[in-house]
Chains A and B, each alone.
Chain A
Amino acid sequence: MSFKENQEYQTVGNAFSDDPMITCRNVDVFYADKQAIFDVSLDIAKNEVLAMIGPSGCGKSTFLRCLNRMNDTIDICRVSGEITLHNENIHSRETDVVYLRARVGMVFQKPNPFPKSVYENVAYGPRLHGLAETKSDLNEIVESSLRRAGLWKEVKDRLEQAGTGLSGGQQQRLCIARAIAIQPEVILMDEPCSALDPIATSVIEELIDELKQQYSICIVTHSMQQAARVSQRTAYFHLGKLIEIGLTDDIFTHPVHELTEGYITGRFG
């Protein structure tokens, strides 16, 4: 099981799709002098859930944050290679980062509702982007987003209460509702269940399954079971490199690369 860091490598499996939403080609990411992502190429197809797995520190979160340029907020971070959304390079000068993030939503590891009411949390995005012309439009967007996030029944009577007062699982669904309120095309999820208990996790997983009808979803997860449950395709990262990618069923039943096999069988992780 020897794998040297700077060795040339070839991703195992088919990383590409015929009908891609997002395409990534030869992406490298650097933090100052330290390279965190090495030459990653893959596609994210429409209406699919792509899971990214791998040991901690393998760069999967870093890679995810490239997809809506959240890495811009870190001064020392530099991205090279090409990432396109609808054949538009998202790192080009013409691409507007605000517009990009409106189209590529993100759900974070720890639920991060704003210290505002439940209603204001969901209405935040639509208000920013001017998506609702009247108050009733806004009410409608808030209600439908909360419904799709499966939270409506639980919070409809306390929309004015603070979002931070909900339980952890509810908070995370609130964050999902907040993300889908501006009707993005892609939702990025960075270990969305790592701070939640098993019951809340299973609710979110069901939600992800429903959301894929409308959105492309890219989810980073620590849990192989979760990847197996929610995703159609799985990508395995190791030390910043994309080792293997393929249909989830194949990866978990017949991993090709020895590193993938080692990780899945629990020999390291």
Chain B
Amino acid sequence: MADSLLAIDRLCYRHGDRQAVREATLVCQRGEILGLLGPNGAGKTTLLSCVAGLLAGFTGAMAFGGTPFRPAHDATARARMGLVPQDLAVYEELTARENLRFFGAMQGVARSSLDAAVARGLALAGLDDRADDRVASFSGGMKRRLNLAIGDLHEPELLLLDEPTVGVDPQSRNHLFDSLLALRQRGRTLIYTSHYMEEVQRLCDRIAVMNDGQIVAVGTAAELAVHAGIAGADLEQVFLKMTGRSLRDQA
């Protein structure tokens, strides 16, 4: 597939006795925002962890830009991706600028380019005027924006976003959406997981639905509705139809 950036082919991963991901097959096109939806315990985080290089013991195959891809054992491959984790993975006692500089260095940004990368990150997060304040003094929304900027510091081809808008106010959420759309305009590819249906519907070009470790459907929101046999229904109804209404308390 000429435009595919990431291709996942029949990926399986087992957490002890539990099959967390079953035969997951998914293609992420270059330059798109792909939503990844699923109830708790569906296998979204495990799948993202395999892609990010945090888990290695999976079966199946992955290709990045058409070439085989084993990020757990290949730092260069990992450098082609960025991760925006659900946790606020920042150092609260450092300033925004210090956080960006440090993670930029960890991502392999050259010293000569570091200042420019930090400036770009501050602009992306809308934190230019608070660059030298400690993160501990930031609101939840500001921290979320910084969290996103850190993930994008090295301008990765693929950005993995794991519920990046948890606990933020509408203003910050809007800023994050604008930032993500701006990244896509710059040619970046994004995989976006969230439990907020309206976010996914607003942002994502296509949506993959995971349930019980499997990818059960992929397409636009309208295509998913047709696939679920409830054409014209909103995404939440489609999601519930595909994944059921029973509670999912499994971690």
> Do A and B assemble together?
no
Residues of A within 8 A of B (CB): none
